[in-house]
Structure 1
Amino acid sequence: MKNNQEETLSKNKELTLKDKVIVITGAASGIGKASSELLASKGAKVVLVDFQQNAGQETLKGILDKGGEGIFIQADVSKSEDVQNYLDQTIQAFGKIDVLFNNAGILQTFSRFADIEEDHFENIINVNLKGVFLGMKYALKIMDDQGYGNIINTASTTGIRAEHSLAAYTASKHGVIGLTKAAALDYVRRGIRVNAICPGGVATAITAGVPQQLQETGYMPEEFPNMRIGRYAEPHELAEFVAFLSSDSSSYMTGSILLADGGLTL
C-alpha cells in the first residue's frame, strides 16, 4: 500500500504543470529561456514575452519542435499598453493565466553613485521595477477575477544587500522585493500567491561582461573572481527553482524571498 501511495504522489508531482498557462517575460535568453523550455517540457502552455523578436521566436520554435505548446509576443515591459497586450493575447489564446513569471530585466553599467546618468537610472527603473509593477498590476486583476493565480518575480541578491557600483540596479531589485511583499499581503486571502527569487551570479549573456566592467571601474569584489560555491549558476538550475514555485508543490508559499545564490550572501 505504501509503495502504491508513493508512486501516486510521484506521478502527481510530475503532472503539476500540466495544462498550466504560464507567462514568462524576458523569455528569449538566460533564466527566462531556460525556464520557458523546462516549463513547457513539464506540460505547461507557455507564453514567451520579450523585446527581442528573433531570439524569442527561435526559443518558441525549439519548444514547439519538442512537442511543447506556446506562443511568442513581442513587448516592452516598461510600457503599459504592451503589458496589457501580452496579457490580453494570453487570455485570447488560452483563456486563463495560472502563473506570471516577471523575469525581464537589464543590468546597470557599473559606475559610482554620483556618475550615474539620470536617463540610465530611469531606464533601469523602468525595465526592472516598473515592468514588474505593470505585469503584476494587470495580471492581478485577471487573477483576482479568476479566484486564483501565482506570480513569481526575479529579484536579485542586490535586492537584499547593496553591491558596489550598482546603485540603480540595487534600487530596482530592492523595489521588486517590496512589490512582492506588498502584493502578497494584499492578496493573501484571494487565492493568489506572490513570491520572488534572488539569484546571485548566473552564467548568462547579460553577466558575461561583468568582470571586465568591474575592472574598468577599478573595483573588483572578492566574490566575482571566486564565487563561494566555486562557479556561477547555470540558467537551468534557476529554471528548476521557477518550476517548483510554478507548481502546486509550493502551494503554502507567499511573500517568500528565496535565495538561490550559491552562498554569495553568506
Structure 2
Amino acid sequence: MEVKDKIVIVTGAGSGIGRATAIHFAKFGATVVVSDINTESAQKVVDEIISNKGKAIVNKCNVAKFEEVENLVNSTVNEFGKLDVIVNNAGIGPNLLRTHESRLKDWDAVIAVNQTGVFYCMKVALQQFLEQGYGNIVNIASLAGLKASPNNISYSASKFAVVGMTKSAAMEYATKNIRVNAVCPGYTESALLNQLIGAKPEMDAILKSVIPMKRYGKAEEIADAVVWLASDNTRFITGQTITLDGGTSL
C-alpha cells in the first residue's frame, strides 16, 4: 500500500485497533505519531515499531480536550513539516444500560471522547490540510453507527455522529484534495469487546450467533482497511463507510 514516507497520527493507538493500525502503517513505511492518553501503552507500541525498523514517536493526547488536540497536530507538523493522515480511533465503550437507565455522566463521557473528540481532531487537522493543500482523514466508526444497537444509547449516538461527520466533511473538502472516510467494524477482538463480555459472559455466544462468519474480527483486519483508505491506492474514494463485520449487517 502506498503510504511510504507519509506522516500519520493515530489516536487511541495504545491498544486494540489503534495499536494494530499504527503498526500496520509503520510496516508499509509511514512515520507514525502514536497518540494515546496512556503514554505507557503508547510507548510499548512505539518500541515494537522501532524494534521492527519502523519510525514512530509518542504524543500524549486526550481528544476530549481541544487544546491537547491542537498540540497534537501542531507538534507533529513542527516535528515533521507536514501531516498526511489522521486516524481518529480514540474511543470509549458502552455502558450496557437501557436509555431510561442511562447515567448522565456516562453519556457526557462517551459523547466527549467518541463524538466531540473526533470533531476536534477533524477541525484541527483540516486547518492544516487546507494550508498544505492535501490530507486524508480516516474515522473509526462502528456497526453501531449504521444499525440499531439497544442498551447502547450514548455509544450508538456517538458512532452515528461519526458517520454523519465523515460524509459532511467529505463533501465540503472534495475539491480541496482532502479525503474523508470511515470504517465501521463489527464485533472485533478488543478491550471494548472484552469489557462487554466481562460484564455479561453470556454475550459471547449470543454475539457469535449473529455473525455469519461465526467469529470476531481481528484488529489487524480493521487496520488493513484503514491503511488502504489512507493510501494513494484509493485516491477516488471519499465519504465512504467501509463495513467490516463478517456479514453481521446482512
**TM-score calculated relative to the size of structure 1:** 0.90
Distance 1:212 1:59, change over 3 A: closer
SS in 2 for 1:207: helix
Deviation, 1:258, is 1.0
Question: Alignment partner for residue 201 of structure 1, among 187, 201, 207?
Answer: 187
Q: What percentage of aligned pairs have identical amino acids?
A: 38
Structure 1 residue aligned with 2:172: 186
Mapped to 2, the partners of 1:60 and 1:42 lie a distance apart of 15
Question: Alignment partner for residue 158 of structure 1, among 144, 161, 170?
Answer: 144
Structure 2 residue aligned with 1:252: 236
SS in 2 for 1:209: helix
SS in 2 for 1:258: strand
Alignment of 1:88-107 (within 5 A): 88-107=74-93
Asked if 2 retains the 8 angstrom alpha-carbon contact of 1:97 and 1:149, the reply is yes
Mapped to 1, the partners of 2:135 and 2:32 lie a distance apart of 15
Mapped to 2, the partners of 1:261 and 1:194 lie a distance apart of 21
The unaligned stretches of length 5 or more in structure 1 are 1-13
Mapped to 2, the partners of 1:41 and 1:30 lie a distance apart of 17
Aligned pair count reads 249
Question: Alignment partner for residue 134 of structure 1, among 120, 128, 137?
Answer: 120
Mapped to 1, the partners of 2:59 and 2:96 lie a distance apart of 31
Q: One-letter code of the match for 2:40?
A: N
Distance 1:164 1:214, change over 3 A: farther
The unaligned stretches of length 5 or more in structure 2 are none
Deviation, 1:212, is 4.1
1:54 counterpart = 2:35:
no
1:109 counterpart = 2:92:
no
Q: Which has the larger radius of gyration?
A: 1
Distance 1:251 1:221, change over 3 A: same
Mapped to 2, the partners of 1:172 and 1:78 lie a distance apart of 13
Deviation string 1:94-146 (CA, Å, 9 cap, x unpaired) is: 11111100000010110010111111101000000001000000000000111
Structure 1 residue aligned with 2:158: 172
Question: Alignment partner for residue 222 of structure 2, among 231, 238, 257?
Answer: 238
**TM-score calculated relative to the size of structure 2:** 0.96
Q: One-letter code of the match for 1:157?
A: L
1:80 counterpart = 2:63:
no
SS in 1 for 2:23: helix
Distance 1:185 1:175, change over 3 A: same
Structure 2 residue aligned with 1:213: 199
Deviation, 1:209, is 2.8
Asked if 2 retains the 8 angstrom alpha-carbon contact of 1:97 and 1:143, the reply is yes
Alignment root-mean-square deviation, CA: 1.4
SS in 1 for 2:207: coil
SS in 1 for 2:236: coil
